Amino acid sequence: MRAARALLGMEQAELAQRAGVSIPTIKRCESDTGTAAPVSQATQGKIRAALEEAGVEFTNGGSPGVRMRSS
Protein backbone atom coordinates (compact mmCIF):
# COMPACT_ATOMS: atom_id res chain seq x y z
CA MET A 1 0.00 0.00 0.00
CA ARG A 2 2.82 2.38 0.85
CA ALA A 3 4.49 1.69 -2.50
CA ALA A 4 1.21 2.30 -4.34
CA ARG A 5 0.76 5.63 -2.55
CA ALA A 6 4.36 6.57 -3.39
CA LEU A 7 3.79 5.85 -7.10
CA LEU A 8 0.78 8.13 -7.00
CA GLY A 9 2.35 10.80 -4.81
CA MET A 10 -0.63 10.38 -2.49
CA GLU A 11 -0.68 11.20 1.22
CA GLN A 12 -2.37 8.94 3.77
CA ALA A 13 -5.12 11.52 4.30
CA GLU A 14 -6.00 11.58 0.60
CA LEU A 15 -6.13 7.78 0.41
CA ALA A 16 -8.30 7.65 3.53
CA GLN A 17 -10.72 10.15 2.00
CA ARG A 18 -10.86 8.37 -1.38
CA ALA A 19 -11.40 4.98 0.29
CA GLY A 20 -13.92 6.28 2.82
CA VAL A 21 -11.89 5.14 5.82
CA SER A 22 -10.07 6.92 8.63
CA ILE A 23 -6.42 7.98 8.59
CA PRO A 24 -5.69 5.69 11.58
CA THR A 25 -7.03 2.79 9.50
CA ILE A 26 -4.54 3.60 6.73
CA LYS A 27 -1.76 3.85 9.32
CA ARG A 28 -2.77 0.46 10.76
CA CYS A 29 -2.68 -1.12 7.30
CA GLU A 30 0.80 0.27 6.68
CA SER A 31 2.15 -0.62 10.11
CA ASP A 32 5.23 -2.86 10.12
CA THR A 33 4.96 -3.68 13.81
CA GLY A 34 2.34 -6.40 13.55
CA THR A 35 0.89 -5.21 16.85
CA ALA A 36 -1.95 -3.17 15.34
CA ALA A 37 -5.46 -4.59 15.20
CA PRO A 38 -6.17 -6.28 11.87
CA VAL A 39 -8.15 -4.44 9.22
CA SER A 40 -11.20 -6.22 7.79
CA GLN A 41 -11.20 -7.69 4.30
CA ALA A 42 -13.98 -5.27 3.33
CA THR A 43 -11.88 -2.28 4.41
CA GLN A 44 -8.81 -3.64 2.61
CA GLY A 45 -10.97 -3.97 -0.50
CA LYS A 46 -12.07 -0.32 -0.28
CA ILE A 47 -8.45 0.80 0.01
CA ARG A 48 -7.32 -1.39 -2.86
CA ALA A 49 -10.19 -0.15 -5.05
CA ALA A 50 -9.28 3.48 -4.32
CA LEU A 51 -5.66 2.85 -5.28
CA GLU A 52 -6.61 0.98 -8.44
CA GLU A 53 -9.06 3.72 -9.42
CA ALA A 54 -6.20 6.21 -9.02
CA GLY A 55 -4.11 4.24 -11.53
CA VAL A 56 -2.03 1.57 -9.84
CA GLU A 57 -2.07 -2.13 -10.58
CA PHE A 58 -1.18 -4.77 -8.01
CA THR A 59 1.00 -7.49 -9.48
CA ASN A 60 1.84 -11.03 -8.47
CA GLY A 61 3.70 -13.99 -9.83
CA GLY A 62 7.25 -13.31 -10.99
CA SER A 63 7.26 -9.66 -9.97
CA PRO A 64 5.09 -9.05 -6.89
CA GLY A 65 4.37 -5.46 -6.06
CA VAL A 66 2.65 -2.49 -7.65
CA ARG A 67 3.08 -0.54 -10.85
CA MET A 68 1.25 2.13 -12.75
CA ARG A 69 -1.48 0.68 -14.92
CA SER A 70 -0.67 0.92 -18.60
CA SER A 71 -3.06 2.99 -20.66
Q: What is the pLDDT of residues 14-67, one digit of tens each?
A: 999 999 999 999 998 888 666 667 788 899 899 999 999 999 988 876 666 888
* pLDDT confidence of residue 9: 95
What is the structure's pLDDT at 70? 76
Distance of CA 52 to the CA centre of its chain: 9
Stretch (H or E) spanning 52: helix 41-54
| Separation between Cα atoms, residue 44 and residue 40, nearest integer Å | 6
Q: Give the pLDDT score at 11.
A: 97
2-68, superfamily in CATH? lambda repressor-like DNA-binding domains (1.10.260.40)
- Residues counted in the chain: 71
Say if residue 3's pLDDT is above 70.
Answer: yes
Q: Where are the domains of the chain?
A: 2-68
